[in-house]
Amino acid sequence: MSKYFVYYESPKSHYRYYDGNSYKSTTNRAEINLGFFEMHPSYENTDEDLKRYYDKLPEWSEQIRSKFTKCNFDYLSKFNDMIAVEHFFLLFCKKSISTHDDVTFTEQSWIEKCKNSGLQSCKPTDKPIKVYSYDGKGFYQMILASDEFMIPDKEGYEATLDKLPKRKELKHGYYHVKITSDNPDARMVFSFNPDHVYYYYDLYFAMKHKKELDFNIELYQDNEPNCYLYDSVVPSSTIFAKWNKTINELKKEFPSNKLLKNLGSKCHGVISKRCQITVNNKELQQNLEKYKDHDIIRTTKIGEWGTKYYDEYHVLQSPEKPYKHNIRLKAQITSYARSYIGNLALENIETLIRINTDSFSMTKPWKELNKKLFKREEKSSGIIQFYNCNKYMHECWKCKEQYKYKDFVHHKCW
Ligand SMILES: [Zn+2]
């Protein structure tokens, strides 16, 4: 077996890794590259757990491989989690997306203006309160395999509308609309985009709850196209059904195999990747001919200028196509997921404290919640004070001190 590494990131941009013999720390992201596998977040950020995770990988990889003797899918030989996830996707879905058009640069300009992230919201509390939290299990995998989640398969077109159609007549596409609301509940269940471009599912959500959440929806009229529309959409399940079934069968047979979680949850992000490469100054200067048609999207400066440690990293966009795969998912799945979570949260809005992508925190137990899809989440349940969506502290019932969850689990003053 070839050499591999496992790593974790903590805090941001501080990496700790292990190669089977020794541990090393770095802040250089480029060092975490080929042969690196990220430790699953259910493990603790300690050297001990890093080794435990390292030792488990060959067994888990072999469990998956044993199911695919014909094609020999070997996770550990795929250089990193991202490549493994991408290859697994291609294995099952390449054929079904062969009829999808390539994504165009015009589409890219609309896609990148959408808010392509999960819903995050919070009602901060002024003191610790009893909280019940639930976390989505295989949430994005479920969406990908769903018959209700529709994605465009053909190129669309820009258009200029005089006014928005009725909700039920709305086409799939990106809309340049100003959506506002002063209702605090709207902030909890809807993600406002400062760039004012929304995919179909967000706009549909705002139109559906217009009265209830006091949404004001205004189509931009500025002599530019105000939408990009698709005539052709297909259920996402036409691509992901077999992929989903295979992962679920594997999960059933190997419930503690953490690599299987990656195959399901990281897929949509990995396959929505742009056709970009990162080069440093020297590489760029030496290959000017090769990169002459590439656009520089972003430049990051490293180290102090004038010292030998100074360097610049450039992210270059390929001139041939904007995204690696011909699948329209990036804006679509995040928009669908937000409206799915938003609709669900509205059923219990009085007790809602926080939403973090696919997890909810409530002031009362949520009995009606689908327990197959959402499980009790310990790390954000208990007596907790919420400061914002990502900052919350557990309170000890005895000493009344506040602790972060990772310290709180080891805390025992009684
Ligand atoms: Zn205590």
User: How far apart are the CA of 39 and the centre of ligand 1, in A?
Assistant: 30
pLDDT over 60 (residue 316): yes
pLDDT over 80 (residue 88): yes
Give the sign of the dihedral formed by CA 277, CA 283, CA 287, CA 292. positive
Structure confidence at residue 1 (pLDDT):
56
pLDDT over 60 (residue 323): yes
Beta bridge partners of 7: 17, 38
| Residues contacting 381, CB < 8 A, separation 6+ | 131, 132, 133, 361
Mean pLDDT is lowest, of 114-123, 136-145, 311-320, for: 311-320
User: How far apart are the CA of 400 and the centre of ligand 1, in A?
Assistant: 6
Q: Closest by alpha carbon to 121, among 398, 352, 324?
A: 352
Over residues 14-27, the pLDDT tens digits come to 999 999 999 999 98
Structure confidence at residue 146 (pLDDT):
96
User: How far apart are the CA of 376 and the centre of ligand 1, in A?
Assistant: 23
pLDDT over 90 (residue 107): yes
User: How far apart are the CA of 121 and the centre of ligand 1, in A?
Assistant: 29
User: How far apart are the CA of 413 and the centre of ligand 1, in A?
Assistant: 4
DSSP 71: T
User: How far apart are the CA of 287 and the centre of ligand 1, in A?
Assistant: 60
Cα–Cα distance, 114 to 28 (Å, whole number): 30
State the number of CA atoms in the 13 A half-sphere of 27 facing the CB: 4
User: How far apart are the CA of 377 and the centre of ligand 1, in A?
Assistant: 21
| Residues contacting 207, CB < 8 A, separation 6+ | 164, 167, 170, 215, 217
Q: Are strands 5-9 and 36-38 parallel, antiparallel or unpaired?
A: parallel
CA 223 remoteness from chain centre: 34
Identify whether the C-beta of residue 166 lies closer than 8 Å to the C-beta of residue 303: no
Domain map (residue ranges) of the chain: 5-79, 276-317
Identify whether the C-beta of residue 158 lies closer than 8 Å to the C-beta of residue 108: no
Residue with tokens 């954000």: 380
Structure confidence at residue 29 (pLDDT):
79
User: How far apart are the CA of 399 and the centre of ligand 1, in A?
Assistant: 4
E strand or H helix at 241: helix 237-253
Cα–Cα distance, 306 to 90 (Å, whole number): 45
User: How far apart are the CA of 407 and the centre of ligand 1, in A?
Assistant: 11
Chain mean pLDDT for the chain: 93
User: How far apart are the CA of 46 and the centre of ligand 1, in A?
Assistant: 23
Q: State the CB neighbour count (10 A cutoff) for residue 26.
A: 14
Beta bridge partners of 347: none
Residue with tokens 């689908």: 370
pLDDT over 90 (residue 2): no
Structure confidence at residue 72 (pLDDT):
76
Identify whether the C-beta of residue 17 lies closer than 8 Å to the C-beta of residue 5: yes
pLDDT over 60 (residue 401): yes
Question: pLDDT band for position 309 (50/70/90)?
Answer: confident
Over residues 276-303, the pLDDT tens digits come to 888 888 888 898 888 888 888 888 887 7
Structure confidence at residue 15 (pLDDT):
93
pLDDT over 80 (residue 220): yes
Question: pLDDT band for position 414 (50/70/90)?
Answer: confident
Q: Read off the pTM.
A: 0.91
Over residues 153-208, the pLDDT tens digits come to 999 999 999 999 999 999 999 999 999 999 999 999 999 999 999 999 999 999 99
Structure confidence at residue 22 (pLDDT):
95
Cα–Cα distance, 388 to 120 (Å, whole number): 10
Q: Are strands 173-180 and 233-235 parallel, antiparallel or unpaired?
A: unpaired
Mean pLDDT is lowest, of 11-25, 65-79, 109-123, for: 65-79
Over residues 228-256, the pLDDT tens digits come to 999 999 999 999 999 999 999 999 999 99
Over residues 388-398, the pLDDT tens digits come to 999 999 999 99
Cα–Cα distance, 6 to 80 (Å, whole number): 10
